[in-house]
C-alpha cells in the first residue's frame, strides 16, 4: 500500500508529523481522527530507494547472512527493533545498513516488517516479502526468515558453480581470440610483400591466402571502425533484447539450444518448484505462491505457462493438469506433482524435486564443460591451422614452380 506523509495537531495544540500506510488519503484522515488528531496536511510519499541511492547494490549472499542472523536474534528473545538496530550496526554492506535503518524506523512507527521490507525491492524480492508476511501471520517469523536465507544461499551456490564451470572455457575463448587477432593484424602483413611479388610474376595466390590477406587488410586499416560498428550493433541488440518482446525471444532461444537448452529449462523448473514449495510450506496461499514462483523461475516462457495454469486453478482445476498441458515440465516431474496433490504433501515434494533437478543439472554442467573445452581447443587449432596454411601454400607453390 502507498505511504502518506501527514502533519496533524493533537488536543494540546502541538503539531505532529509522521508517515502512515493506507489504501488512500481518506484512510489516513480516518486513522488520524480515530487517534484524536486533526489533520493539517496529508500528501502521498514517494518511496525512496535508500540502498540504491546511497549504498549501492545489496549482494544476495550478504543479505542471506543478515536474514539468518535476524532469525537467530529473534529466536533468542531479542526484540525486533533491537535486532534491526544490531544488524544495521554490524553489517558490512553500506547499502544494507541504510536498508535496515529505514526498516527499523518504519517498524517503530507501527508498520509491519513485511511492509517495511517491501519498500526496498532492490534488497528484498517478492519471495522474501511474502515469506515474512506468512511468517508474521502464522507466528513462525524466525523459521520464515531462516528459510529465506537458505534459499538465497542455495541460489548463489548454483550461480557460483555455473560461473566457475564456465570460467576456463571463457578464458580459452578470450585467449584464442586475442592470439588470432594478433596473428592476423601483426604477423600476416609481413608476408604481404612476398605475396605481391608472386602476383606480379604471374603466379596466382591460393584462395585461402587471398581471404586471409583481405581479413588482415580490413582489420589493419578499418579495425577501429569495425570495432565501433560491432559495439553499436551489440548495444542495439542489448537494448532490443531487454525489451519484453526481446526477453521472450531470448528465453525461447535458450530452451532450444543443444545441450545447454535442457540445462536452462531444468534450472527454471528447479527454481519454480523450490520457490513454490517453500511458499506453500510457509502458509502462502496457492494462487499467490504461483504468482511469485512464476516470476522467480527466471524464464518468461515458463512463467507464462505457470500463470496460465494459475488461471485454471482459480477456476477449480488441479495444478498438475494445466501444468502438464504446457509441455515444459518434464513428465517424471509432472507425475510426482500429480501424486503429491493427491497425497496432500505438495510442498515437500516440490522441494525434493528441486533438489533432484539441481543434482542432475550439476552433472549435466560438468559433462557440458568437458565437451566445451576440447571443442574450444579444436576451434582455436583450426583457425591457427588455416592461417598457417594460407601463409605456406604460396611458398609451396613457388617451390614447386622452381623445381620444375
What DSSP character marks residue 47?
P
Reduced to 3 states, what is the DSSP secondary structure of residue 256? coil
Strands 15-21 and 38-45: unpaired
**DSSP helix/strand/coil, 318:** coil
User: What secondary structure letter does DSSP report for 359?
Assistant: H
Half-sphere exposure for 14 (CA within 13 Å, toward CB): 3
Are the C-beta atoms of 336 and 315 separated by less than 8 Å? no
- Per-residue confidence in pLDDT tens, the chain, 404 aa: 566 777 777 776 677 777 777 766 667 777 777 777 777 677 666 444 444 444 456 788 888 888 888 889 888 888 888 888 888 888 877 888 888 888 888 888 888 888 888 888 878 876 777 778 777 776 778 888 888 888 788 778 877 877 877 788 788 888 888 888 888 888 888 887 877 777 777 667 788 888 888 888 888 888 888 889 888 998 888 887 777 777 788 888 888 887 778 888 888 888 888 878 877 877 777 777 787 777 777 788 888 888 777 777 766 667 777 777 777 788 888 888 888 888 888 888 888 888 888 888 888 877 877 787 788 888 888 888 888 888 888 877 776 655 55
Three-state DSSP class for 299? coil
List of long-range contacts for 316-321, beta carbons under 8 Å, 24+ apart: 319/286, 319/290, 319/346
Instruction: Give the pLDDT of residue 55.
Output: 45
CB atoms within 10 A of CB 246: 14
Distances (CA, A) of 402 to 203, 312, 393, 397: 12, 82, 14, 9
Q: How many other CB atoms are found less than 10 A from the CB of residue 381?
A: 11
For the four alpha carbons of 94, 99, 104 and 106, in that order, the dihedral sign comes to positive
Amino acid 56: pLDDT: 52
pLDDT at position 50 is: 41
Of 103, 131, 127, residue with least CA distance to 117: 103
Cell of 397: 607453390
Residue 171, CB-side half-sphere exposure with 13 Å CA sphere: 7
The whole-angstrom separation of Cα 392 and Cα 127 is 62
d(CA 206, CA 356): 56
Angstrom CA distances, 335 to 92, 244, 303, 314, 338, stand at: 45, 32, 20, 21, 5
pTM of the predicted protein model: 0.62
Burial 84-102 (b: 16+ CB within 10 A, else e): bbbbbeebebebbbbbbbb
User: Distance between CA atoms of 390 and 211, rounded to whole angstroms?
Assistant: 8
β-partners of residue 44 are: 4
- 125 in Cβ contact with 64 (< 8 Å): no
Q: Is residue 210 within 8 Å of 198, Cβ to Cβ?
A: no
* CA distance linking residue 254 with residue 257, whole number of Å: 5
CA–CA distance, 102 with 154 (Å, rounded to integer): 27
Answer yes or no: are the C-beta atoms of 4 and 45 closer than 8 Å.
yes
Q: Annotate 108-125 with DSSP letters as a single string.
A: HTT--HHHHHHT-TTTS-
3-state secondary structure of 79: coil
Instruction: Give the DSSP letter of residue 59.
Output: P
Q: C-alpha cell of 72?
A: 537467530
Amino acid at each position: 500500500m502507498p505511504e502518506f506523509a501527514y502533519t496533524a495537531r493533537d488536543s494540546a495544540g502541538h503539531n505532529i508529523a509522521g508517515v502512515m500506510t493506507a489504501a488512500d488519503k481518506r484512510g489516513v484522515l480516518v486513522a488520524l481522527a480515530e487517534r484524536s488528531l486533526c489533520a493539517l496536511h496529508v500528501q502521498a510519499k514517494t518511496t525512496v530507494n535508500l540502498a540504491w541511492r546511497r549504498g549501492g547494490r545489496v549482494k544476495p549472499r550478504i543479505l542471506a547472512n543478515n536474514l539468518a542472523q535476524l532469525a537467530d536474534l529473534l529466536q533468542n528473545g531479542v526484540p525486533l527493533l533491537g535486532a534491526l538496530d544490531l544488524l544495521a550496526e554490524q553489517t558490512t554492506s553500506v547499502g544494507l545498513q541504510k536498508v535496515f535503518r529505514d526498516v527499523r524506523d518504519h517498524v517503530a512507527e507501527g508498520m509491519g516488517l513485511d511492509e517495511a521490507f517491501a519498500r526496498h525491492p532492490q534488497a528484498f524480492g517478492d519471495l522474501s516479502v511474502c515469506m515474512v508476511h506468512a511468517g508474521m501471520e502464522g507466528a513462525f517469523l524466525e523459521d520464515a526468515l531462516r528459510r529465506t536465507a537458505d534459499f538465497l544461499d542455495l541460489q548463489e551456490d548454483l550461480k557460483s558453480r555455473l560461473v566457475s564451470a564456465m570460467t576456463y572455457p571463457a578464458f580459452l575463448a578470450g585467449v584464442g581470440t586475442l592470439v588470432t587477432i594478433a596473428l592476423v593484424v601483426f604477423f600476416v602483413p609481413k608476408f604481404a610483400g612476398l605475396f605481391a611479388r608472386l602476383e606480379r610474376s604471374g603466379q596466382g595466390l591460393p584462395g585461402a591466402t587471398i581471404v586471409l590477406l583481405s581479413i588482415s587488410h580490413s582489420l589493419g586499416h578499418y579495425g577501429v571502425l569495425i570495432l565501433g560498428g560491432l559495439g553499436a550493433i551489440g548495444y542495439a541488440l542489448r537494448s532490443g533484447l531487454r525489451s519484453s518482446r526481446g526477453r521472450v525471444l531470448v528465453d525461447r532461444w535458450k530452451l532450444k539450444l543443444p545441450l545447454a537448452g535442457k540445462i536452462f529449462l531444468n534450472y527454471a523448473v528447479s527454481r519454480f518448484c523450490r520457490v513454490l514449495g517453500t511458499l506453500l510450506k510457509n502458509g502462502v496461499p496457492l494462487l499467490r505462491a504461483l504468482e511469485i514462483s512464476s516470476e522467480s523461475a527466471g524464464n518468461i516462457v515458463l512463467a507464462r505457462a505457470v500463470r496460465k495454469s494459475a488461471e485454471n486453478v482459480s477456476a477449480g482445476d488441479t495444478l498438475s493438469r494445466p501444468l502438464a498441458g504446457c509441455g515444459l515440465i518434464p513428465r517424471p516431474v509432472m507425475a510426482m506433482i500429480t501424486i503429491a496433490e493427491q497425497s496432500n504433501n505438495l510442498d515437500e515434494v516440490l522441494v525434493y524435486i528441486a533438489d533432484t533437478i539441481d543434482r542432475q543439472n550439476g552433472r549435466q554442467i560438468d559433462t557440458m564443460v568437458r565437451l566445451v573445452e576440447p571443442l574450444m581447443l579444436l576451434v582455436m587449432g583450426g583457425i591457427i591451422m588455416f592461417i598457417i596454411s594460407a601463409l605456406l601454400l604460396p611458398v609451396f607453390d613457388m617451390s614447386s614452380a622452381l623445381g620444375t
